[in-house]
């Protein structure tokens, strides 16, 4: 298993999810190697998992020590009403105030994440241990600012006109929108990769290529550029693991969905709809939207089976023309064994 550190050289957008990272690697394999190599890579998912990728998460560097943060596992709920029994009104108010802060703890430090994986820490224990909460540390080291952008028409390459309620053009600079940019001097992003040695080496080469061209949008304006470092990484062994936590957006196979439906009490998750556009290299397409995909979010927890991997890739667009090809959405789980359920 490899860990990839992305040290920002500029502001960046916090949207490097597993499906986007996989797409970047696919286009990189096509660019640096060949169409045949890319097709072979994608075909490999029909029988296995040539490469698994997590979403990117934040780290903070403190005295040359990196403090990594992972999504807090979505755990079985505890009886909150029981905590209020026999309490005075003032004590109840303090508990409700604490509840609000507790709900904002979406990320936990690596040490706390390991305690969740081992079963040492559960949701009630985390609620009662506010010294383990890290939202303040992240907000201290990462600053978000909204920047205003013009909406560019992908067909004309110019800004969209301002239209009246009747649909008549009344101006030339319409489609303004804001987008959050993240600034940090003491932190960065990281994600994990695991799979066949051949594709781990290819992915590293592709990422170093993208370190020069930029990741995500607005790279031509100097944004979303990162210095990339790749190191070995491993999670501690979990004894008597009975479940897994996904560190990626997870699109289950049909048999996995059937299994979860048969024992829904062992699944704790949130859903997210993912929808995007095809690469800028194909903007001559008038229909550039990919099919939407409903995925389980990072941190979702499921009962494990004897399978060696979970999730699949899905065809979301068919490009026709002189060079026809298929566009796929990545939905393999980056599954980490846990003793939670």
Encode pLDDT of 128-172 as tens digits: 887 888 878 888 888 887 666 566 665 566 666 665 555 566 555
Under 8 Å CB-to-CB from 322, ≥6 apart: which residues? Answer: none
Reference 335, options 263, 249, 262, 218; nearest CA is: 249
pLDDT value at position 72?
Answer: 94
Residue 296 pLDDT: 96
pLDDT band at 326; cut points 50, 70, 90: confident
pLDDT value of residue 205:
95
pLDDT of 317 > 70? The answer is yes
Q: Where are the domains of the chain?
A: 2-142+184-338, 145-177
Is the pLDDT at 237 greater than 90? The verdict is yes
Structural contact between residues 228 and 34, judged by C-beta atoms closer than 8 angstroms: no
Q: Are 332 and 312 in contact (CB under 8 A)?
A: yes
First to last CA, the chain: 25
Mean pLDDT over 238-255 rounds to: 95
| Residue 203 confidence (pLDDT) above 80 | yes
pLDDT of 250? 97
- pLDDT at 281 (0 to 100): 56
pLDDT tens readout for residues 79-99: 777 777 777 878 778 778 777
More confident residue, 133 or 223: 133
pLDDT of residue 113: 94
CA distances (Å), 190 to each of 5, 6, 146, 157, in order? 4, 6, 23, 34
When comparing pLDDT for 239 and 153, which is higher? 239
The candidate with the shortest Cα–Cα distance to 236, out of 133, 120, 336, 306, is: 336
- Please report, rounded to a whole number, the percentage of residues in the chain having pLDDT higher than 90: 48
Q: What is the dihedral of CA 245, 250, 252, 256, to 10 degrees?
A: 0
User: Which positions ≥6 away from 101 have C-beta within 8 Å?
Assistant: 130, 133, 135
Q: What percentage of the chain carries pLDDT values higher than 70?
A: 84
Confidence class for position 179, pLDDT limits 50, 70, 90: low
Q: How far apart are CA 95 and CA 196, in angstroms?
A: 49
Within a 13 Å sphere around the CA of 150, how many CA atoms are in the beta-carbon half?
A: 12
Tokens of 111: 């040490």
């Amino acid at each position: 298993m490899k860990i990839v550190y992305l040290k920002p050289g500029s502001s960046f957008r916090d949207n490097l999810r597993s499906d986007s990272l996989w797409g970047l690697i696919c286009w990189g394999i096509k660019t640096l190697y060949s169409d045949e190599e890319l097709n072979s890579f994608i075909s490999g998912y029909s029988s296995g998992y040539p490469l698994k990728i997590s979403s990117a998460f934040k780290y903070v560097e403190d005295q040359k020590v990196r403090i990594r943060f992972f999504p807090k596992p979505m755990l079985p709920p505890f009886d909150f009403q029981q905590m209020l029994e026999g309490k005075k009104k003032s004590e109840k108010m303090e508990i409700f105030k604490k509840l609000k802060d507790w709900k904002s703890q979406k990320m936990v430090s690596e040490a706390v994440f390991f305690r969740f994986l081992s079963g040492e820490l559960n949701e009630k224990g985390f609620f009662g241990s506010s010294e383990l909460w890290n939202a303040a540390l992240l907000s201290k080291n990462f600053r978000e600012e909204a920047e205003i952008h013009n909406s560019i028409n992908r067909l004309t390459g110019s800004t969209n006109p301002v239209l009246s309620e009747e649909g008549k053009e009344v101006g030339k600079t319409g489609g303004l929108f804001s987008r959050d940019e993240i600034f940090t001097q003491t932190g960065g992003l990281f994600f994990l990769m695991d799979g066949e040695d051949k594709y781990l080496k290819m992915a590293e080469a592709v990422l170093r290529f993208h370190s020069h061209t930029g990741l995500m949008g607005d790279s031509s304006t100097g944004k979303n550029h990162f210095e990339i470092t790749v190191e070995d990484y491993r999670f501690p062994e979990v004894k008597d693991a009975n479940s897994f936590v996904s560190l990626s957006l997870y699109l289950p196979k049909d048999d996995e969905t059937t299994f979860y439906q048969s024992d829904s009490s062992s699944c704790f998750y949130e859903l997210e709809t993912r929808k995007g556009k095809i690469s800028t290299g194909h903007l001559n397409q008038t229909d550039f939207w990919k099919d939407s995909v409903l995925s389980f979010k990072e941190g979702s927890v499921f009962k494990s089976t004897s399978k060696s991997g979970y999730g699949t890739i899905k065809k979301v667009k068919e490009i026709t023309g002189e060079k026809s090809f298929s566009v796929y959405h990545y939905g393999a789980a980056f599954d980490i064994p846990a003793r939670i359920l």
